[in-house]
């Protein structure tokens, strides 16, 4: 880049930081500007982040290059001649063909972005309510890109396999003799969606016929097998308990007696459904376990109120919005996303859940053996048959399969082996500590729920779903006074309600519900 070009770019700070830049692998381009010329460019959005959320993505077979995006979204064929792509782009004067190539790429990227934006508007039905002015368009554009700005795109499995297959088949003609199963590998989904309905909508009744809760068929049948209830109806399955339960569905508890539909709570789709935590598990897992006699079950992570069904597309969009709120919480609570500030990376530890009951040392020894076996199988092609079987057995036992494949060998050979740092504190734990000492955990819970409503605008929420679910019962429990068994009741109240609210309740002041 010439010096005069550098000066020209620096004379437009609004271009560097104030507007969105869109393209494919554009974040990598901004890195080159920084490394080669010391120019920091912000506001880069990789089009592939947005494209994978579009319904048409399923037809693209994992190919999200600019030429593929232009073909699918614009019906435009770009010139990707390899001679032109590999020509001298450092020349003092670019040829007319080079200038045309670069200009068309830039225009195509912008056109794809505008098509994605237009389709996003149609999906949200915003354009039907009233015409959008320029300020609203600007705001909605930035909202669509929340969580994607200056974030590198990680290729989806199908795209990675496509590149590997290309390399594998170089010099093998057109590859028409490939096995049929090889062509199916790229169809693997990024997420595991529900294969059967998530909600069974079976009823549990009290002995007097009062509905207690909806439950799964498995749970309802368990009461029947244990002779704890009798079957009242088959479809839907209704089980009347033959003992008096300890509590009933009063107040917010009525949420659990309403039938739930197996559909996305945002758009209503019934295809490719998966569950999502409205209050992310990384925070709720650090909520304190209060004594049962103080706040029975009210903040436990398994309560289903904050576990909702999303379609794959809405799940990806919501995850992007969640990432943005995590960044805000990281700054507000001095809680880096990768954990304690004194650590260079995350607290990486063995994640094979089948082995978590073993000691730390035992797990580390086993993982070292797995990694060594993976390296040996990957590098040594002429291993003796007996030795190869021994190594394959190590991997098959570790992964819990009968036969291993190349991906498992690759995964095992690159396992990161690190020991737990006892001083490490995760981002989620730091945020929970901050809220427990200041605004209170109910405020953190409320914030995540409100964030979900504000960003996703769900149209199919279950009846009685609420931002302040269970908060009234928590306040009532605290207001009733300290039980004799609990010595830390004041601390519990402060952690839940925040310092000011707990003090007000302790003084007898009524605090209005949210």
The tens digit of pLDDT for each residue in 1-42 reads: 555 555 555 555 556 666 888 999 888 888 887 777 777 778
Give pLDDT, residue 353.
Answer: 33
Domain ranges of the chain: 3-157, 189-248, 268-337+426-506, 353-413
* Phi, psi for 214 (deg, rounded to 5): -85, 150
The model scores a pTM over 0.75:
no
Give pLDDT, residue 448.
Answer: 94
Task: Inform me whether the pLDDT recorded for 365 exceeds 90.
Answer: no
Query: What average pLDDT does the chain have?
Result: 74
Q: How far apart are CA 18 and CA 15, in angstroms?
A: 6
Give pLDDT, residue 180.
Answer: 39
For residue range 309-339, list pLDDT tens digits in order: 998 888 888 888 888 888 899 989 998 887 7
Task: Inform me whether the pLDDT recorded for 487 exceeds 70.
Answer: no
Contact 228, 241 (CB under 8 A): yes
Give pLDDT, residue 265.
Answer: 92
Report the pLDDT averaged over residues 366-389.
83
For residue range 49-91, list pLDDT tens digits in order: 888 888 787 777 778 888 888 888 888 888 877 788 888 877 8
Give pLDDT, residue 417.
Answer: 65
**Cα angle 256-322-141, degrees, rounded to a multiple of 5:** 120
Most confident of 18-22, 306-310, 397-401: 306-310
Q: How far apart are CA 197 and CA 191, in angstroms?
A: 17
Give residue 119's pLDDT band: very low, low, confident or very high (50, 70, 90). Answer: confident
Q: How far apart are CA 434 and CA 427, in angstroms?
A: 11
Contact 337, 330 (CB under 8 A): yes
Give pLDDT, residue 291.
Answer: 47
Q: In Å, how far are 52, 193, 234 from 63, measured between CA atoms?
A: 10, 22, 48
Give pLDDT, residue 181.
Answer: 40
Task: Inform me whether the pLDDT recorded for 427 exceeds 80.
Answer: yes
Give pLDDT, residue 492.
Answer: 63
Query: The tokens 């080669």 sit on which residue?
Result: 36
Task: Inform me whether the pLDDT recorded for 446 exceeds 80.
Answer: yes
Task: Inform me whether the pLDDT recorded for 449 exceeds 90.
Answer: yes
Task: Inform me whether the pLDDT recorded for 308 exceeds 60.
Answer: yes
Task: Inform me whether the pLDDT recorded for 354 exceeds 50.
Answer: no
CB atoms within 10 A of CB 4: 8
Closest CA relative to residue 417, chosen from 364, 361, 376 = 364
Q: How many CA atoms lie within 13 A of 346 on its CB side?
A: 9
Contact 423, 430 (CB under 8 A): no
- Domain 3-157: give its CATH architecture: 2-Layer Sandwich (3.30)
**Bond into 184 cis (ω within 30):** no
Report the pLDDT averaged over residues 464-471.
84
Give pLDDT, residue 90.
Answer: 77
Q: How many residues does the chain have?
A: 514
Give pLDDT, residue 455.
Answer: 87
Task: Inform me whether the pLDDT recorded for 447 exceeds 90.
Answer: yes
């Amino acid at each position: 880049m010439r010096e005069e070009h550098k000066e020209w770019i620096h004379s437009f700070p609004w271009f560097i930081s104030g507007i969105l830049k869109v393209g494919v692998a554009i974040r990598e381009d901004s890195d080159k500007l920084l490394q080669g010329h010391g120019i920091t460019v912000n506001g880069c959005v990789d089009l592939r982040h947005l494209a994978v959320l579009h319904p048409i993505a399923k037809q693209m077979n994992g190919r999200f290059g600019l030429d593929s995006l232009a073909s699918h979204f614009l019906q435009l064929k770009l010139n990707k001649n390899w001679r032109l792509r590999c020509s001298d782009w450092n020349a003092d004067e670019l040829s007319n063909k080079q200038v045309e190539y670069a200009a068309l790429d830039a225009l195509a990227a912008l056109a794809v972005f505008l098509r994605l934006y237009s389709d996003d508007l149609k999906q949200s039905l915003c354009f039907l309510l009233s015409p959008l002015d320029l300020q609203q368009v600007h705001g909605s554009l930035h909202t669509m890109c929340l969580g994607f700005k200056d974030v590198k795109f990680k290729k989806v499995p199908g795209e990675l396999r496509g590149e590997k297959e290309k390399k594998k088949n170089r010099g093998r003609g057109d590859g028409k003799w490939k096995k049929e199963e090889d062509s199916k590998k790229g169809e693997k989904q990024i997420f595991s969606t529900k294969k059967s309905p998530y909600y069974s909508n079976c009823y549990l009744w009290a002995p007097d016929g009062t509905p207690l809760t909806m439950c799964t068929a498995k749970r309802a049948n368990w009461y029947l097998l244990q002779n704890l209830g009798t079957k009242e109806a088959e479809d839907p399955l209704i089980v009347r308990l033959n003992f008096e339960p300890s509590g009933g569905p009063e107040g917010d508890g009525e949420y659990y007696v309403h039938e739930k539909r197996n559909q996305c709570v945002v758009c209503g789709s019934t295809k490719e459904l998966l569950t999502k935590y409205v209050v992310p598990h990384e925070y709720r897992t650090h909520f304190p376990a209060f004594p049962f006699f103080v706040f029975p079950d009210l903040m436990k992570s398994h309560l289903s109120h904050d576990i909702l069904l999303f379609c794959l597309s809405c799940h990806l969009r919501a995850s992007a919005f969640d990432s943005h709120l995590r960044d805000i919480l990281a700054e507000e609570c001095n809680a880096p996303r990768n954990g304690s500030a004194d650590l260079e990376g995350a607290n990486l530890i063995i994640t094979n859940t089948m082995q978590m009951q073993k000691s730390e040392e035992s797990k580390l020894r086993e993982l070292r053996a797995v990694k060594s076996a993976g390296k040996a199988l990957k590098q040594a092609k002429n291993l003796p048959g007996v030795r190869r079987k021994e190594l394959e057995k190590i991997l098959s036992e570790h992964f819990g399969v009968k036969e291993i494949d190349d991906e498992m060998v690759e995964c095992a050979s690159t396992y990161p082996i690190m020991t737990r740092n006892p001083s490490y504190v995760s981002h989620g734990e730091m945020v929970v500590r901050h809220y427990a000492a200041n605004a209170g955990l109910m405020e953190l819970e409320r914030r995540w729920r409100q964030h979900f409503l504000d960003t996703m605008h769900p149209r199919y929420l279950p009846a009685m779903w609420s931002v302040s679910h269970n908060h009234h019962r928590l306040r009532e429990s605290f207001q009733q006074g300290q039980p004799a068994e609990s010595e830390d009741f004041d601390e519990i109240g402060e952690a839940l309600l925040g310092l000011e609210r707990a003090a007000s309740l302790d003084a007898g002041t009524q605090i209005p519900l949210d």
